Amino acid sequence: MKVRDVNTSPPQGRTTLAAVASQAGVSVATVSKVVNDRSDVSDSTRARVRHLLDEHGYLPRTSHREPASTTAALELAFEGDLHAYTAEVLQGVLDAAAESGVPVVVTCRPIGTGPTDGAARGWARRLSDAGRTALIAVTSVLSAAQLAALAHEGISLVVIDPLEMPNADVTSVGSTNFSGGVSAVQHLLDLGHRRIAYLGGHSQAACNQARMHGYRAAMEGAGVAVPEGFVRASHFIYSDGVECGLELLDLPTPPTAIFAGSDEIAVGVMEAARKRGLEVPGDLSIVGFDDTQLARMSSPPLTTVRQPLAEMGRLAVRTALRLRNGEAVDSHHVELATDLILRESTAPPSA
């Protein structure tokens, strides 16, 4: 009896289903089911096989699958839940894409669940196979392997509000967060407040760092010391605004004003004030950041720093299309101007 040697190494550098099946400890039929998105595979097995397919950069033979979509489209990718902030960005992206006649595919995934470096090739290849010619990522961090994979597939990238400091390898769009922070705190100082706290979002986020430094610069410029515990980091969400707002208001000497790193945090602080029986702005002044619909709909209407979120989305689309077409851009990072919008949540401190 002849023994046939089954070689599972990919011919001419191409990964085979047999190689993936052997590594995953499953049958070739199971791997084939995962490739063809069949439902009769357990979630754990599907995840293991998909991870190996991505690691190997597996590309199915065109004769074994339906042709991939050739419609060129932009992908707009969010991490985490969608909020008022993302709705404004989304509107700008959709408006600019409609004007340019370019389809937009919107994806949203939980924070921290993006492709690993080992799976970056497969991730970028799937985007390319689906007809994505550009990716617009909102408040995301992409690794060197992910950037290289996108470049290899010819997919242009623009990041809105990058979580890391802008660098020449990534084209990004943001706003003047530092000067926005200065203007917010200067407004409170001009009203006569001296016990001013800052409640921001992710401590390592570049936008949060800039807003916090603007806060500190304004306080230092006025010769006002920042008490211990008056600078806090959380997340840019309502629930953290409530929780951290209560912590600030429960300090032995609480602030008379709070500059919040987002409108959502600010509205949470308003609820914290209500829970403590305080009036806004009679007992506590609050300034937000973003100028989303929340700022206009809150009670009282929120004084806030407006960053042009919709325009940031529009600019990101225009920039992504220029990069896709091989055109040069003026700068790898563009910051749009912020403005302080005065409403009814701020007043001089009570006696």
SS3 255: coil
H or E, element range at 293: helix 293-297
Q: What is the DSSP letter of 349?
A: P
Q: Where in the chain is the domain with CATH 3.40.50.2300?
A: 73-175+310-336, 177-308
Q: Where in the chain is the domain with CATH 1.10.260.40?
A: 12-64
- Exposed/middle/buried for residue 247 (C-beta within 10 Å: 0-12, 13-18, 19+): middle
Question: Model pTM?
Answer: 0.77
Instruction: Assess whether pLDDT exceeds 70 at residue 102.
Output: yes
Percent pLDDT > 90 in the chain is 54
Contact 328, 299 (CB under 8 A): no
Domain 73-175+310-336 has CATH 3.40.50.2300: yes
Six token digits for residue 217: 């610069």
The Cα–Cα gap between 145 and 120 comes to 6
Measuring CA to CA, which residue among 2, 102, 111, 10 is closest to residue 55?
Answer: 10
Question: What is the overall mean pLDDT for the chain?
Answer: 86
Backbone angles phi, psi at 6, to 5 degrees: -90, 115
Query: What pLDDT score was predicted for residue 15?
Result: 59
* pLDDT tens-place string over residues 76-98: 998 877 888 999 999 999 999 99
H or E, element range at 148: helix 144-152
What average pLDDT does range 18-25 have in this prediction?
A: 82
In what side-by-side order are the strands of the sheet with 196-200?
231-233, 196-200, 257-260, 285-290, 303-306, 339-341
Q: What is the DSSP letter of 228?
A: T
36/315: higher pLDDT:
315
Domain 12-64 has CATH 1.10.260.40: yes
In order, the DSSP letters of 99-134 are HHT--EEEEEE-TT-SPPGGGHHHHHHHHHHTTEEE
CATH of 177-308, one of 3.40.50.300, 3.40.50.2300, 3.40.109.10, 3.40.50.720: 3.40.50.2300
Query: What pLDDT score was predicted for residue 59?
Result: 58
